[in-house]
A and B are shown apart, each in its own frame.
Chain A
Amino acid sequence: MNEIRFSSPKEQGKLDSVASDVLRNVRISKAFIIWIGFLFLALAACLYAYIIQLKEGLGVTGLRDYTSWGMYIANFVFFVATSLVGMLISSVLGLIGYNWVKPISRIAEIIAIAFAAVAGLVIISDMGRPDRFPFLFRFGRIQSPILWDVTVVTTYLVLSLLLWYFPLIPDLAISKNRLHGRPSFLIKVYELLSLRWEHHESQYRILKQAMRILLILIIPTAFAIHTVTSWLFAVTPRTGWDSTIFGPYFLSGAFVSGTAAVIIAMYFFRVNYKLEKYLTPFHFEKMGRVLILVSIVYIYFNLNEFLVPGYKLKTGDAIHLRELFTGHYAMLFWGVQLVGLVIPVILLLIKQMRRPMPMMIISVFVLAASWLKRYIIVVPGQGHPNLPIQNVPVEWVVYKPTLIETAVTIASILLVLIIITILSKLFPVIPIWEIAEDDHDKEKLSGNE
């Protein structure tokens, strides 16, 4: 157990203490088995709903000819949005040189992986002919934004996986000898995935270079995935979607939901994994500020998106905005804008609210509102096409999601939780070597606290 890079006794001691704190949670406990068992059982129940949908067709959803994109697409947009936070935390903040993101970066990466991976499945659940999914590769037309979306979401998923895995390699090597009493398969997996890492200085140099390249590459990719997702709507001539700012509007909204998701996860790991030493109130305070910043940017885009057409009130926009502001979707719209965006920003400006507990509660509201916000973006615009809806059954006029649709959507959320659980429970959720190294660097800079 000779970690060359951490050769001095002091460094070795630091490494040992971080490793033992973090690895304490890496075990298959009873609670873990119950939790994952529950997740899989619930998933099975929800997948039954999808089987019904496969058999009967999409008619079992509330979707019909006029509102033909509903909860599934809204959920897809939400998933893609939330996954962007991996890029925000690790790349943007990390490359700027904010070292405090280090203990959070792996959490952000796990969230990115889980949401990006399931986003791909969500889109399949919306397909009328999921059996023809391979057609996208056999007959794909480069002109269609769907193809761009498939390309960039997969790229983003791969980059996120690498960004999770690369910094994990030294940790696996550090951990593999410290996993006494864990199931032997887990130790084998660690052995295998650590690629015989030997903690040579040169290895670290290469690793850091690789990570830096990934961190840079993932920025345009992340911009691309959500911009392209917004284009699924913005390239159509539909009122409510026909907007030139949809790209940045979606992107700024993505950071809001992602940041909220990370804060919730941080709180959970801090409390349940007893990582108070690593996910400190200081980190929450910082993340609170990030949430304020991204929310204000998002409010700015909302202002543009609604005020400008609201000022002109072109016929189609007028109908659409009336529906949102005072009509059928008014409750939802104002609820999302106020409870999910404006009030959280105001609250977070108060220092006491940036403590872990209140932050977590606020983030839950923000995250739920982010989901509903996607619903508001996707659904209402279709209720008022340019030509009137006539001579159809009443169910076709206003979209109402069905139970089956909801169950399939819940299945996707369960799947996200399963991925997050497995990645965070079976592998160190805090980067061990980076924390140890960070303190080591800090000391070198002669106590700059």
Chain B
Amino acid sequence: MAKEKQEKSNEKPDLDKVVEESRRDFIRRLSIAGAVSVTGAAALYSGHSFEKAKHSKGMVRVLTEDNRLVEIPADQIKDLKPDIKALKARGKEGLQGKRWVMVIDLSRCRNARKCVEACQSAHHLRPYEYHINTLVMKESVNTPEYFMPKPCQHCDNPPCVSVCPVDATYKRQDGIVLIDNERCIGCRFCMAACPYSARMFHWQEPSQAENDKEKVYDVELNVPQKKGTISKCLFSADRIREGLLPYCVSACPNGVFYFGDENEDAVTNGTTKETVMLSELLQKNAGYRLQVELGTNPRVYYLPPKNRLFEFERGPEKEYREETI
């Protein structure tokens, strides 16, 4: 996740550097500037690299789908909304060569719940609708309590995906389990099958349904959320496509989360932005995963809550009230 810093320096785009920029950065720019040509929508996901340079005459260079560099008048550029098919296709594919992985250091979690809030605001959820939830855990009478943030475990052998009757939830090659709420029929078999209770269902109209009406559905963000369908943690697939850390990871004030690529054997801490070796981190800290005996092979690792950096303070119990249905 070293991209994070590079990202920041790019805020004022320097046209000469455009060429050198990675495809991912380009796509981000593309969506911001809206400089999408007729063929742009296809290029958005097809993975072709792409150059552009503004000429003094108001011409724009555009790389077409079949890899030809062409020039078109700038005033003929039409802004295209990223079309849903393209978003879906890239959402299916995932980021090539990556195997996303998360490490959660339980010795640092003090239940600030910033991860929960950031996630809920990004995904337009209510305070009691969770993609990630921080639980109070206690293994047995004599062992201490500790806080445990629990996102979707993005299992490599996901029971939820096996049982889905319509391929609405699926496993991507980069390890992420996604949910397509335009496909989901709302049978909730996946909820029944998930041993981590990681999934939520829209029992009522989603909180921001009215505002999101016009939005094009992005399967990597799962917004707009839809009534009568499943939603769940997506490892912030939309953010990592832009080279950023997931919402929860960046929001944590206490350095609980690491996120990265298993293939690179590197994970970056969301708070300190420090990048460390995954294998070393797990080895030194006796990393483990939840309910391995079920054979689900989660992609989320936990570091045990030993030598706690913070005292365990339960704090006042918050009461959650269901919005009237």
Known contacts A382-B192, A391-B130; is-contact A140 B322 (Cβ 8 Å) = no
Contact A141 B187 (CB under 8 A): no
- A393–B320 CB distance below 8 A: yes
Q: Does A238 contact B (CB under 8 A)?
A: yes
| Inter-chain contacts of B296 with A (CB < 8 A) | 237
- B2 surroundings in chain A (CB, below 8 A): none
Does B273 lie at the interface of the complex (its beta carbon under 8 Å from any beta carbon of A)?
no
Interface presence of A136 (CB below 8 A): yes
Q: Does B325 contact A59, Cβ atoms closer than 8 Å? A: yes
Answer yes or no: B166 CB below 8 A from chain A CBs: yes
Q: Is B164 an interface residue (CB 8 A)?
A: yes
Could you tell me if B325 and A56 are in contact, using CB atoms closer than 8 angstroms? Answer: yes
Please tell me if the beta carbons of B205 and A391 are within 8 angstroms of each other in the complex: no
Q: How many residues of A contact B (CB 8 A)?
A: 47
Task: Give the Cβ gap from B204 to chain A, nearest Cβ, in Å.
Answer: 4
Interface secondary structure of A, over-half rule: loop
Closest CB of chain B to A66's CB: distance in Å? 7
| Cα distance A382–B186 in the bound complex, in angstroms | 17
Q: Is the interface of B mostly helix, strand, loop or mixed?
A: loop
Q: Tell whether A58 pairs with B166 under 8 Å between CB atoms, given A68-B191, A237-B294, A390-B136.
A: no
Cα A140 to Cα B202 in complex, Å, equals 22
A147 in contact (CB, < 8 A): yes
Select B133's contact among A68, A126, A146, A390, beta carbons within 8 Å: A390
- State in angstroms the CA–CA spacing of A151 and B134 once bound together: 41
Q: Are B164 and A141 in contact (CB under 8 A)?
A: yes
Q: Contact between A388 and B229 (Cβ–Cβ < 8 Å)?
A: no
B164 contact set on A, CB distance < 8 A: 141, 144
B116 CB to nearest A CB, Å: 8
CB–CB A133/B195 < 8 A: no
The residue of chain B having its C-beta at the shortest distance from the C-beta of A56 within the complex is: B325
Within 8 A of A (CB), among B187-215: 187-189, 191-193, 195-197, 199-205
A residues near B189, Cβ cutoff 8 Å: 144-146, 232
- Decide: A386 and B195 in contact? CB cutoff 8 A: yes
The answer for the CA separation of A390 and B58 in the assembled complex, in Å, is: 58
Q: How far is the CB of A143 from chain B (nearest CB, A)?
A: 6
Question: Which residues of the other chain, A, contact B193 by a CB distance below 8 angstroms?
Answer: 235-238
Contact at A129–B228, with CB atoms within 8 Å?
yes
Chain B residues closer than 8 Å to A235, beta-carbon distance: 162-163, 193
Q: Is the CB of A140 within 8 A of B166?
A: yes
Name the distance in Å between B109's Cβ and chain A's nearest Cβ: 14
* A65 B322 Cβ-Cβ under 8 A: no
Residue of B nearest to A54 (CB): B228
CA distance A58 to B325 in the complex (A): 10
* CB-defined contacts of A136 to chain B, threshold 8 Å: 165-166, 185
Name the one of B185, B195, B196, B294 contacting A128, with C-beta atoms under 8 angstroms: B185
A residues less than 8 Å from B284 (CB atoms):
none
In the complex, whether B282 has a CB less than 8 A from a CB of chain A is no
Rounded to whole angstroms, the CA-CA distance of A136 and B159 in the bound complex is 19
Interface hits, A369-400 → B, CB 8 Å = 382, 385-393, 395-396
Q: Do A68 and B159 touch (CB < 8 A)?
A: no
Residues on B with beta carbons closer than 8 Å to the beta carbon of A331: none
Greatest chain A CB density within 10 A among B184, B185, B199 is at B185
Mark out the residues of chain A between 16 and 68 whose CB falls within 8 Å of any chain B CB in the assembled complex.
56-60, 63-66, 68
Beyond A382-B192, A392-B320, 13 additional pairs, beta carbon < 8 A: A56-B204, A59-B325, A64-B201, A129-B228, A136-B166, A139-B183, A146-B163, A146-B189, A232-B192, A235-B193, A387-B150, A390-B136, A393-B320
User: What are 29 A-B interface contacts by the 8 Å CB criterion?
Assistant: A57-B202, A58-B201, A58-B228, A60-B325, A63-B203, A64-B201, A68-B191, A68-B192, A69-B188, A128-B230, A129-B184, A129-B185, A129-B228, A129-B229, A132-B184, A132-B185, A136-B166, A139-B183, A144-B162, A144-B166, A145-B163, A146-B189, A147-B165, A236-B192, A238-B193, A387-B196, A388-B135, A389-B197, A391-B135
Q: Which residues of B contact A (CB under 8 A)?
A: 128, 130, 133-137, 150, 159, 162-167, 183-189, 191-193, 195-197, 199-205, 227-230, 290-291, 294, 296, 318, 320-322, 325
